[in-house]
Amino acid sequence: MESKGRSLYAAAGTSDMTQSIEEESLVDGPLISADALHSAIRREFQTLPTHCHACLLSLLHIVYVVLSVCVAVLCVLKFGQVEVCDSILGNMSGDRVIVYGKVCLWVLVLVFTQCVDHHHTKARRRGYLRFYRRMQGLNHLPLAVLSAGNVMLLVVVAADLSTSVHTYMLLCILWLELLVVMPCLLCYTVRVMRFNRERAAPDVSQEEHSHNYTITSLPTETGFREGSSLEEVVEKQADLIEYLKQHNTLLSKRLLNLTAQH
């Protein structure tokens, strides 16, 4: 019994020594410097180029409305030189040219909306959740306005109206769209330019900074704020969880790369 106990004690001592040697080898291994780790985790701020697209779309919209007014007045209402209109448009009527131009403008707005959604989704993945939610309704408003204008245009075209009334109704729709879309694009441009100028950190970093330097006097439950509906809270938490999962995956890959380098 004594020999058996001594053998077990010796085996346990040997395993402890082996474990301590392995731990010492891990401790004595190359360590990752704090500067290298911080530089690998920190990502440079990426600006959004969509404000340039919004300015270009605004300019094209203004040019289209001005040209449509010129075509309607000179070629449809016959207030100008009819021969010049016939030589430019050929056998195509002026109101048909305006309708075709409106279809092209709607396609451009659709492409702009898809481009904006793409860039804003990338900003959301980088952690700018508040900016994504604040701009979500403004992104699709120009497309919704032009789509509603297309519906009104179809009603006007289908109605049996005189040429003058038809032309004036068409111009009213175009001007109404311009008066609604232009403030939306202007507001969008200002917000994106402000976002690019501020170059703020992601929302998670800002919240961590505020929690470290502020003291709250009222106890609050995790994930809830006063005045927030349940749907809004769930949406915010889902966005935050998705961002943290992607951020955790990225950090794991970079830590593995740094460990392999050192």
pLDDT, tens digit, for every residue of 19-77? 444 444 444 445 445 455 445 445 567 888 999 999 999 999 999 999 999 888 888 88
Count of Cβ atoms closer than 10 Å to residue 258 Cβ: 16
pLDDT digits (tens, 9 = 90+) for 169-220: 999 999 999 999 999 999 999 999 999 998 877 766 655 444 444 444 444 4
Question: CA of 97: how far to CAs of 61, 76, 83, 94, 158, in Å?
Answer: 15, 11, 17, 5, 17
pTM equals: 0.67
C-alpha to C-alpha distance for 119 and 125, rounded to whole angstroms: 10
C-alpha to C-alpha distance for 246 and 127, rounded to whole angstroms: 10
Contacts of 133 (CB under 8 A, 6+ apart): 235, 236, 239
Q: Which residue has the tokens 């001592």?
A: 13
- What's the average model confidence in pLDDT over 143-163? 90
pLDDT tier at 12, thresholds 50, 70, 90: very low
pLDDT tier at 246, thresholds 50, 70, 90: low
C-alpha to C-alpha distance for 196 and 200, rounded to whole angstroms: 8
pLDDT at 61: 96
Residue 165 pLDDT greater than 60, yes or no: yes
C-alpha to C-alpha distance for 260 and 33, rounded to whole angstroms: 13
Question: CA of 254: how far to CAs of 65, 243, 246, 248, in Å?
Answer: 52, 16, 13, 10
pLDDT tier at 89, thresholds 50, 70, 90: confident
Contacts of 196 (CB under 8 A, 6+ apart): 47, 48, 51
C-alpha to C-alpha distance for 183 and 164, rounded to whole angstroms: 29
pLDDT tier at 223, thresholds 50, 70, 90: very low
Helix then strand count (H, E) for the chain reads: 10, 0
Closest CA to 243 of 92, 127, 112: 127
Report whether 129 contacts 146 (CB < 8 A): no
- Each domain of the chain, given as residue ranges in start order, spans 50-209, 230-262
Phi, then psi, of 43 in degrees rounded to 5: -115, 145
Distance of CA 123 to the CA centre of its chain: 6
